[in-house]
Amino acid sequence: MGNMAAPKQVDQVPARPPTAKPDFTIGSLRKAISPHCFERSLLKSFSSLLCDVVLAAALFYASTWIDRPAVPRWLAWGLLWPLYWFWQGVVCTGIWVIAHECGHGAFSKYSWVNDAVGLVFHSALLVPYYSWKHSHRRHHSNTGSVDKDEVFVPFKDEAELPFHKWTWYRALFLTIQQLFGWHLYLFFNVSGRPYSRFANHFDPYSPIFSKRERMEVLISDASILAVGFGLYQAALAFGWPWLVKHYIMPYVCVNFWLVMITYLQHTHPNLPHYQEKEWDWLRGALATVDRSYGILDHFFHHIADTHVTHHLFSQLPHYHAQEATEAIKPILGKYYCYDSRNVFKALWQETNICHYVQPEQPHSGILWFQTVGKDD
Consecutive 10-residue averages of pLDDT for the chain (376 residues)? 38 81 97 98 98 98 96 97 98 98 98 98 98 97 96 80 77 94 96 94 97 98 98 98 98 98 95 95 97 98 98 98 98 97 95 88 91 54
Q: Do residues 223 and 119 touch, judged by C-beta distance below 8 A?
A: yes
Position 11 scores a pLDDT of 57
Would residue 159 count as lying in a domain? yes
Would residue 31 count as lying in a domain? no
Q: Do residues 204 and 198 touch, judged by C-beta distance below 8 A?
A: no
Question: What are phi and psi for residue 46, nearest 5 degrees?
Answer: -70, -30
Structural domain of 138: 38-370
Position 10 scores a pLDDT of 42
Position 5 scores a pLDDT of 38
Would residue 11 count as lying in a domain? no
Would residue 27 count as lying in a domain? no
Position 13 scores a pLDDT of 66
Would residue 28 count as lying in a domain? no
Q: What's the number of domains the chain is made of?
A: 1
Query: Using CA atoms, how far apart are residues 54 and 221, in angstroms rounded to an integer?
Result: 27
Would residue 32 count as lying in a domain? no
- CB-based contacts of 63-71 (< 8 A; 24+ apart in sequence): 63/88, 63/245, 63/246
Position 136 scores a pLDDT of 97
Would residue 375 count as lying in a domain? no
Smallest CA-to-CA distance from 367 within 265, 284, 271, 251 is with 271
